[in-house]
Chains A and B, each alone.
Chain A
Amino acid sequence: MSRGHFSALVILYFICAAAIVLFVGSRFTVNTVSDAPFETVSEAVLGSTDLTVMQEGNNQMIKRLYGFDPDEIGDVLLYYPLTNMGAEELLLVRMEDPDSSADTVTTGIEDRITSQENSFNGYAPEQYSMIEKSITDVQGNYILFISSSDPEKTDTAFRQAVGAGSSSGPDLTGRIRGLFSSLSGSSTDSSDQATQEGGNAE
């Protein structure tokens, strides 16, 4: 191999390394919008969750438990416990406008988690533990909240279903801005900070 050829290879090598770093960095900030139909995602999520201890909730129940109006958000699916002693719960949301709705939905979920923790704290340790291990996963225009004995399984199915429909994201300027804000350590408005567990794992 000639010296020039070798130098070109080394340059390409480091360009690839830099591009990989940029790509990975961008994943922390890119707010991917999924084109996956709500029916497909809900089918994946429901198919990977044990629903025998839950019942489907209507819009009124969503307003009561989460404090937002589904009609103002987009598509919402709720399964909540059959009894007051149950902690199993599933909320799936597809937001029409993630920028304006994400905070509303995540705040509603956080309030619901706090409310459930207060309900179970002290006398129902298993339910409390289940709520602690619940998963809130924000993937672009989709949000999943799952509290069950195996939330990871539902979350995996959710991510795969949402990921299969991911095709578009913000414009290049948005990506670069997000990347630099990430690298400089400043806070971002990223809603792709996925999997915020309700509590610490063991």
Chain B
Amino acid sequence: MTLSSLPFLYLFLPVSVLLTLAVPERARLYVLAVLSLVFYAWGSPVYLLLLLLSSLFNYCAGRILDELLWNYRDGAARFYLVFSVAVNLGILGIFKYTSLEFPVGISFYTFSALSYLFDVYRDRQEVERNPVYLVLYISFFPKIISGPIVSYRDWKDILNHHSMNRNDIYRGMPLFLIGLFKKVLIADRLGAAFSGIQSSSQLASGTAWLGMLLYGFQLYYDFSGYSDMAIGTARMLGFKFDRNFNYPYTSINISDFWRRWHISLGSWFRDYVYIPMGGNRCSTARQVLNLSVVWLLTGIWHGSTLNFLVWGIWHGIFVILDKFVLNERMERIPSWGRILLTDLIAMLGWVWFFSPGVGSALRWFGWMFGIGAAGAGNAQTLFVLRQNIVLLLAAAVGSTPVVHKLHQYYAYRWKNTGLVISVILYLLLLVLSTAGIIGSTYSTFLYAKF
């Protein structure tokens, strides 16, 4: 069950919200834990056992670490931390890099579990004494498939102040509907157009560039749409998560891009890898090493094939160049130029990302720059352009804050009328998205496979 499926939309989500709202305050987190396990079992019953074992294992690990640290037995605590991290990463590695069936959400819930262990070990957070609450943290259904990866520190803060009322539903639902719209009516259409191009054995340069743009926007709308749905669902249940995307295609450099794209993963690597290695409070050579490690790990996290590693290196190189070489020079370029340059780097990076291997990616780059291409443009280029120009332009505009600002402006200016129009627009999004789901054959989230 995905967040954009009809059973979730019209059964699981309303039942979850109403049930959680209906039970007494002290029982809500328990109800949510059960609902999360039901949600996971719905799509992946076999791996529910692994999720439960992993949760119990990490619960015990947290309690043991806490006890050992309390008694100043640092050596023993370090042993348990290393062993626990090894078990968590071992499970993830086996499922991710062997031919075994991939349990849904394992990359995301493993990183949540590691966040818990690191936070407890570094004494940043009080250990979780209620095993059900830890199960809820690891398996909370809005975030288990594709994040956002909420750190335990932030989760504990949210949990300590958890409350749920109708206002949360009013605030979460629009975000959910925007995410649904992004996924079903934009990302899936971009994806259909991209699939048509990707299956070609040879492309004209223009078509290869169009394909790159289609995929770049598809990934953005797919993943940010999912994140909006996840954050919106969580909000309806009284959990206020930070945003996972902040208009990344309006970034002025590649470091800025990564502060706006998949923010929760970037934060995780910053908090648990980059900063513990010394962050930027060390020599330049050491900083370069730290950044290189972070970007290699980011590439490896995304997949086992070499193209993901190259994709990580690609971004690592530009982040390092941006930080140490280009920083001041870039400031001479006007903002719009820097945004376009950043988008070009990010978009070219997606070629590594969507290609099944390094060879395919190099072939695609070759087509883009005229090597082995079927000319600069051909009938397919014109066809793809004609079919998708409106969609691409809408996607480009929608990836900036313009639409949001316009909505805010008119909603504020027109007051009650604006509110009524907003409600009608959101209902329209729901109707159109539902029609889109019914009309489509099958759709999954791109990031679910990571």
Contact = CB atoms under 8 A, between A and B. Distances in A.
B395 to A, nearest CB: 20
The 8 A-B residue pairs whose C-beta atoms are closest, nearest first, are: A47-B441, A47-B442, A13-B60, A16-B57, A202-B357, A50-B199, A44-B442, A195-B99
Nearest to B303: A152
Nearest to A194: B99
Interface stretch (A24-32, A62-70, A71-79, A91-99): A24-32
Interface of B: 43-46, 49-50, 53-54, 56-57, 60-61, 63-64, 67, 80, 83, 87, 91, 94-95, 99-102, 104, 195-196, 198-202, 305-307, 356-360, 440-444, 448-449
A10 B99 contact: no
A98 B220 CA distance: 41
- Chain B interface, >50% SS class: helix
Interface of A: 1, 6, 9-10, 12-13, 16-17, 19-20, 23-24, 27-28, 32, 43-44, 46-48, 50, 52-53, 88, 126-127, 129-130, 133, 139, 148-153, 156-157, 159-161, 163-164, 166-167, 169, 192-196, 201-202
9 contacts: A1-B67, A19-B53, A20-B57, A46-B441, A47-B442, A50-B199, A149-B201, A160-B104, A202-B360
Contacts of A167: 45
Contacts of B200: 149
A163 B44 contact: yes
A20 B444 contact: no
A50 B441 CA distance: 12
A23 B49 contact: yes
B441 A6 contact: no
A12 B102 contact: no
Contacts of B449: 152, 156
A201 B46 contact: no
B91 A13 contact: no
Contacts of A46: 441-442
A50 B99 contact: no
A19 B49 CA distance: 10
Contacts of A153: 195
A178 B60 CA distance: 29
Contacts of A10: 60, 64
B101 A27 contact: yes
B45 A17 contact: no
A136 B195 CA distance: 21
A52 B442 contact: no
A150 B87 contact: no
A16 B131 CA distance: 14
Given A13-B64, A201-B356, A48 B442 contact: yes
A43 B80 CA distance: 47
B269 to A, nearest CB: 25
B340 to A, nearest CB: 28
